Amino acid sequence: MSPPQLRRRRLLARPPPCAPGIALLLLLVRSLAVGSGCPCQEQELCRPIRDRPDFEVFVFDVGQKTWKSYDWSHITTVAAFGKYDSELMCYAHSKGARIVLKGDVSLKDIIDPTFRASWIAEKINLAKAQYMDGINIDIEQEVNCSSPEYDALTALVKETTESFHHEIEGSQVTFDVAWSPKYIDRRCYNYTGIADACDFLFVMSYDEQSQVWSECIAAANAPYNQTLIGYDDYLKMGINPKKLVMGIPWYGYDYTCLNLSEDHVCTIAKVPFRGAPCSDAAGRQVPYKMIMKQVNSSISGSQWNKDQQAPYYNYKDPAGHFHQVWYDNPKSISLKAAYIQNHGLRGIGMWNGNCLDYSGDSVAKQQTEEMWKVLKPTL
Ligand SMILES: *[C@@H]1O[C@H](CO)[C@@H](O)[C@H](O)[C@H]1NC(C)=O
Ligand SMILES: *[C@@H]1O[C@H](CO)[C@@H](O)[C@H](O)[C@H]1NC(C)=O
Ligand SMILES: *[C@@H]1O[C@H](CO)[C@@H](O)[C@H](O)[C@H]1NC(C)=O
Ligand SMILES: *[C@@H]1O[C@H](CO)[C@@H](O)[C@H](O)[C@H]1NC(C)=O
Ligand SMILES: *[C@@H]1O[C@H](CO)[C@@H](O)[C@H](O)[C@H]1NC(C)=O
C-alpha cells in the first residue's frame, strides 16, 4: 500500500492516562454499547456479510466521501484505510460488500505470542464494535530470512485468521504482498505459509521501481512483463491462484528529469532504497485524476511504451525543468488483467479507489467509468 514516500514511521499512539476507575467505567459503557449501537438505519445492515463472491473486487479507500461515487456494482470488499466512517460501513453492507479493518503492527512486537494474542483480541473487538467484516494486514516491513520475525509473521496471520473466522462469521482476513516474492524491499516472508493461513493475498503490483538496480531512468510503475513475472513466481511456489488478487495502481509517478533525451529517456536523481542505488522515491506519486488533467497540455501528449506496455508523457514545469509521468490507464490495466482470467486468479483490486475524478465533469466522468469497467471479469 504504502509506496516509499508513504512508508512513514508510525508513532505509538497511547491513550491519555486516566484513573483506573474511570477506565473501567468507560470499558463497561463501551461493551454495553456494542450490539445496541448499530449506526445504520436498518439494523440488519450491521450484520457481517457472508456471501462468497466468485470474483473479488477489492478496493482500498483512504477516507472522505468519494466512495459515494464508486461503481458499487463491482465492489466485493472495501479495505477502510481512512478514518472510521459508519456511513460507509452501512452503505457497503447494503450493497453486499464487505468492509474490513486495516491491520498493521510492529514486527518486533509480534515475536511474543502474548502480544500477538492481545493484538488480535483488540482487532476483533474493534471489528465487532464497528461492524466490520474482517481485516487486511498491511505490514510491508523488512524481514530477514532467518529471523524470529519470519515465523512470527506467519503465526500472526494464522492466528488472526482463526480468531476472525471463529468470532465473526463470514469474515475475511487478507494479507498484502509485494509484486514479486523475490525479496523485494528486503521482505523475506513465508509466502506459501501466509497464503495458506489467510483467505487470500493482495498482490501490490505497483511501486515496481522501488529498487532499481540498473540505469537510473524513469520507468513504468507496473510494467507489463515485470508484473506478470511476479504472478508466475507466486504460482511457481505452489500458491493456489484462488489465493491471489491482482492489485493495480490508480496512480502514477511524476519524475523530474536530470536530462530528457530526444528519444524520451528521462534520467532521474539517485535516491537509494533498501540497498538499491535508485528508486521511485525520486518521483512523486500522482493520482489518475491529476494525470488526466495534465496529459493534454503536456509537451508530448500521451505516449505508449511498447516494451513496458504503459503510457507516459513529458511536461515542463514553470521553473523550466522537464518531467516524465508514468501511469496506468484502461489499456495498460486490461492487458495485465487478462492474466487473471487466463490463470484463474481470485480477482482484482486497486490502490486506491479515491484516485479518480468523481467531480461529475463530463470528460472526467467517462474516464472514471472506464477505469471501473476494466475491473469487470471479461469472461
Ligand atoms: C537484517 O540483518 C541485517 C544484517 O544481518 C541487519 O543489519 C538488519 O538490521 C536486519 N534487519 C531487521 C529488520 O532485523
Ligand atoms: C512456512 O509456513 C508453514 C506453515 O507454518 C510451514 O509448514 C513451512 O515449513 C514454512 N516454510 C518455510 C520455508 O519456512
Ligand atoms: C541529454 O539530452 C540531450 C537531448 O535533449 C541529448 O542530446 C544528450 O545526449 C543527453 N545527455 C545525456 C548525458 O544523456
Ligand atoms: C484530452 O484529449 C483526449 C483525446 O484527444 C480527449 O478525448 C479528452 O477529452 C481530452 N481531455 C480533456 C480533459 O480535455
Ligand atoms: C516481455 O516479454 C516478451 C515475451 O517474453 C518479450 O518478447 C519482450 O522482449 C519482453 N519485454 C521486455 C521489456 O522485457
Domains of the chain: 20-250+328-373 (3.20.20.80)
Report the pLDDT value the prediction gives residue 306, as an integer from 0 to 100: 98
pLDDT in tens, 337-376: 999 999 999 999 999 999 999 999 999 999 999 999 999 8
CA of 93 to the centre of ligand 5 (A): 43
Q: Where are the alpha helices (DSSP H) in 168-296?
A: 191-197, 224-236, 288-294
Query: Which of 68, 66, 265, 272 has its CA nearest to residue 186?
Result: 272
- Kindly identify the ligand whose nearest atom is closest to the C-alpha of 226: 5
Report the pLDDT value the prediction gives residue 46, as an integer from 0 to 100: 98
Segment among 17-21, 60-64, 312-316 with least mean pLDDT: 17-21
Task: Answer yes or no: are the C-beta atoms of 278 and 216 closer than 8 Å.
Answer: yes
Question: Which residue's CA is minimally distant from atom 2 of ligand 4?
Answer: 296
Task: Answer yes or no: are the C-beta atoms of 303 and 297 closer than 8 Å.
Answer: no
Report the pLDDT value the prediction gives residue 128, as an integer from 0 to 100: 98
Kindly indicate the confidence band of residue 279, based on its pLDDT and cuts at 50, 70 and 90. Answer: confident
Query: Maximum CA pair distance of the chain?
Result: 72
Report the pLDDT value the prediction gives residue 197, as an integer from 0 to 100: 98
- Ligand 5 mutation target, pool 225, 228, 332, most atoms within 8 A of CB: 225
Cα 16-19-24 angle, rounded to 5 deg: 95
pLDDT in tens, 195-221: 999 999 999 999 998 888 888 999 999
The amino acid at 13:
A
Report the pLDDT value the prediction gives residue 32, as an integer from 0 to 100: 46
Q: How far is CA 258 from CA 231, 255, 282, in A?
A: 33, 9, 11
Q: Residue 313: is it exposed, middle or buried by C-beta count within 10 angstroms (0-12/13-18/19+)?
A: buried
Report the pLDDT value the prediction gives residue 11, as an integer from 0 to 100: 31
Q: The whole model's pTM is what?
A: 0.90
Distant-in-sequence, close-in-space partners of 279: CB < 8 Å, separation ≥ 6 = 4, 209, 210, 211, 212, 271, 272, 273
Q: Residue 364: is it exposed, middle or buried by C-beta count within 10 angstroms (0-12/13-18/19+)?
A: middle
Residue predicted with more confidence, 98 or 18? 98
Query: Which residue is catalytic, options 56, 140, 149, 208?
Result: 140
CA distance 105 to 376: 33
Beta bridge partners of 261: none
> Does any ligand 1 atom lie closer than 6 A to the CB of residue 125?
no
pLDDT in tens, 40-49: 999 999 999 9
Cα 250-242-246 angle, rounded to 5 deg: 10
Kindly indicate the confidence band of residue 334, based on its pLDDT and cuts at 50, 70 and 90. Answer: very high
Report the pLDDT value the prediction gives residue 157, as an integer from 0 to 100: 98
Report the pLDDT value the prediction gives residue 358, as an integer from 0 to 100: 97
- Kindly identify the ligand whose nearest atom is closest to the C-alpha of 313: 4
- Ligand 3 mutation target, pool 215, 261, 314, 324, most atoms within 8 A of CB: 261
Cell (9 digits) for 43: 439494523
Q: How far is CA 146 from CA 1, 152, 182, 233, in A?
A: 25, 11, 15, 21
The rounded mean pLDDT for the chain is: 91
Report the pLDDT value the prediction gives residue 36, as an integer from 0 to 100: 64
Q: Where are the alpha helices (DSSP H) in 132-284?
A: 148-167, 191-197, 224-236
